[in-house]
Amino acid sequence: MFNKAKLKFDDIFENRLPIDEVKEYLIELYERGEDAAEIAAAASAMREHLIPLEVHYDLKEKLIDVVGTGGDKSNSFNVSSTVAILLTACGCFVAKHGNRSVTSKSGSADMLDSLGINLNLETSKQIIMLEDTGFVFMFAQNHHPAMKYIMPIRKSIPHRTIFNILGPLTNPANVTKHLLGVFDKSFINKMASALELLDTKRSMVVSSADKMDEISISDITYATSIYNGKLEDFVIDPQNLGFKLQDKASIVGGDADHNAQITRDILGNKEKGAKLDIVLLNTAAALVVDEKARDLQEGIEIARDAIQSGRAKEKLEHLVRVSKLLTQD
């Protein structure tokens, strides 16, 4: 199944097929449900047709991405982008892959831009940014030129396609560690198995019972870890980690400027409620994936200390400063 699908997607990315045939194939996949091999094959083909971020092997081994598929319609603030910045303050190297808004008022690129981080660095400067700060944002539209053949077809289909779930699997830095959120529990094991087929080093795929592509602060979250080729299913309950369940409305965000201020407040130790809690939970999970924390409880304390000590606020200021200096070079 993998090889057959890989050849098909190679043809799609190289624009060798009639539009109607591609459209029919994408609809067929959606209606019967994509399996893990097909998802991995599509991601593999997409990886071969992107503009890569060529980082040194020693640095590549350290990289992690925190990303969701989107489509959960939760209208939350930019949780994963806030987590990404906090992770760098905890000593991680984050290569974040994202785009502007598609299903929400503020995509990751919109919010980071509003924070003052320059997103349009050429690849050589992206590498400098990553080496100097521990963080880089790779704007999807700048790294996936072959998508120009596919976007018109996607727009002509009234429902999601496989391309809605490929972004987290097609990081231009070829990241091998992920905290990956999906919009529906049924996709957890599919995406986990796809990551395993794509030679992930260590990852965690999550989807909450209240349909978030994050670890929720309002309900339990279903999760699958992938490590050394082994998949393990488990449940994350915020109450077992010292948090009270909060109403989902308490993490609703707004436009890019509004969400940027939420992120500043969290990283600046001004936010003490549900928005902080959900960031701590997701940061803790990423720290476990990155082997910086032994378990979620330790990860929560590491993340909390990075905020309370002022390191998180300083890291955000550092990212803004370096990205602007690189723009001037």
CA dihedral of residues 312, 318, 320, 325 (deg, nearest 10): -170
Count of domains in the chain?
1
CATH number at 215 reads 3.40.1030.10
Q: What is the mean pLDDT of residues 147-176?
A: 92
Domain membership of residue 289 (yes or no) is yes
Which residues pair with residue 208 across a beta bridge?
Answer: 221
- For 62-87, what is each residue's pLDDT tens digit? 999 999 887 667 788 999 999 999 99
Domain membership of residue 235 (yes or no) is yes
- For 244-294, what is each residue's pLDDT tens digit? 999 999 999 999 999 999 999 999 999 999 999 999 999 999 999 999 999
- pLDDT band of residue 96 (cuts 50, 70, 90) is very high
Domain membership of residue 288 (yes or no) is yes
> What are φ and ψ of residue 174, in 5° steps?
55, 50
Structural domain range at position 213: 58-140+162-328
Mean pLDDT of the chain: 93
Distinct helix (H) and strand (E) counts, the chain: 14, 7
Domain membership of residue 210 (yes or no) is yes
pLDDT at residue 104 above 70?
A: no
Specify the pTM.
0.95
Domain membership of residue 31 (yes or no) is no
Q: Give the C-alpha separation, 89 to 62, whole Å.
A: 15
Q: What is the mean pLDDT of residues 171-191?
A: 95
Percent of the chain's residues with pLDDT above 90: 84
Strands (E), the chain: 63-68, 93-98, 135-139, 177-181, 202-208, 221-227, 230-236
Closest CA to 101 of 248, 258, 231: 258
Domain membership of residue 152 (yes or no) is no
Domain membership of residue 222 (yes or no) is yes
Domain membership of residue 252 (yes or no) is yes
Residue 77 zone, left/alpha/beta (φ > 0; ψ -120 to 50; rest): beta
Q: Give the C-alpha separation, 80 to 279, whole Å.
A: 8
Q: Give the C-alpha separation, 196 to 316, whole Å.
A: 33
